[in-house]
A and B are shown apart, each in its own frame.
Chain A
Amino acid sequence: QKEVEQNSGPLSVPEGAIASLNCTYSDRGSQSFFWYRQYSGKSPELIMSIYSNGDKEDGRFTAQLNKASQYVSLLIRDSQPSDSATYLCASTGGGGSYIPTFGRGTSLIVHP
């Protein structure tokens, strides 16, 4: 059974610090990886996608993928209180499937 594992948190960081969110996946055939941000009571919003090994940067966000270790991470630089949310990791592509497998999410709290 395909699984995506995340630490539920909460992860608490001070404003301005780097928040590091981690995710591991069980399906070695997974090809695409996504990070969603979900504010309480709102819809999950895609913030990063990554398909190849290495780092991908977009503004204050950096996604890192290591397929050999089956590990994906999201770094948020200069964390702001508005970044406080639940971050969902998801993967697709294992066995040709385009349906994402989600983790349970990590709660991030950025305190002033």
Chain B
Amino acid sequence: EAGVTQFPSHSVIEKGQTVTLRCDPISGHDNLYWYRRVMGKEIKFLLHFVKESKQDESGMPNNRFLAERTGGTYSTLKVQPAELEDSGVYFCASSQEDLMGLSSYNEQFFGPGTRLTVL
């Protein structure tokens, strides 16, 4: 079974440019999450999709970030325009449908991350 994949693995852009990150979850996983880790800090939640719907986007830092999951399969996270403080590693994770209504217990499988550097 293929794991969570992310593309690109690295991206270096200049301030003001646009970058789009892609995440392909494990096949059949309805839940998809985006996280970000800024250097020296902890991994922080950005948002959560259930299929194509945004379940929780409370962690999105501002309106320069736009996440989509058309068709409920892969997801994209666009940063436009990018700022210096957006640099970090962006992780995607996926988990199965919450059949038992115990979302706290669903194991999330992480992708390798995209390292974004804004110059």
Q: Point out the residues of chain B lying under 8 angstroms from A31, CB to CB.
A: 104
Interface string of B89-113 (1 = CB under 8 A from A): 0010000000000011111111111
B56 in contact (CB, < 8 A)? yes
Point out the residue from B4, B33, B43, B106 that lies within 8 Å of A88, measured CB to CB: B43
Interface magnitude class on chain B: 20 to 34
Q: Which residues of A contact B44 (CB under 8 A)?
A: 102
Q: Do the beta carbons of B45 and A99 come within 8 Å of each other? A: yes
Complex CA distance for A5 and B106, rounded to whole angstroms: 23
Number of contacts between A and B (CB, 8 Å)?
48
Is the contact region of chain A dominated by helix, strand, or loop, or is it mixed?
loop
**Is the pair A49, B45 in contact by a Cβ cutoff of 8 Å?**
no
B29 at the interface (CB under 8 A from A): no
Which residue of B3, B41, B106 contacts A98 across the interface (Cβ within 8 Å)?
B106
Contact of B43 among A41, A98, A102 (CB under 8 A): A102
**CB 8 Å contact bits of A40-61 with B (1 = contact, 0 = none):** 0111111001010000000000
28 intermolecular pairs with C-beta atoms under 8 Å apart: A32-B104, A32-B105, A36-B110, A42-B112, A43-B4, A43-B91, A43-B109, A43-B110, A43-B111, A43-B113, A44-B43, A44-B91, A44-B110, A46-B109, A49-B105, A51-B105, A93-B104, A97-B104, A98-B104, A99-B45, A99-B48, A99-B56, A102-B42, A102-B43, A102-B44, A103-B42, A104-B41, A104-B42
Q: Using a CB–CB distance below 8 Å, which chain A residues touch chain B?
A: 4, 31-32, 36, 41-46, 49, 51, 88, 92-93, 97-105
Chain B interface (Cβ < 8 Å from any Cβ of A): 3-4, 33, 40-45, 48, 56, 59, 91, 103-113
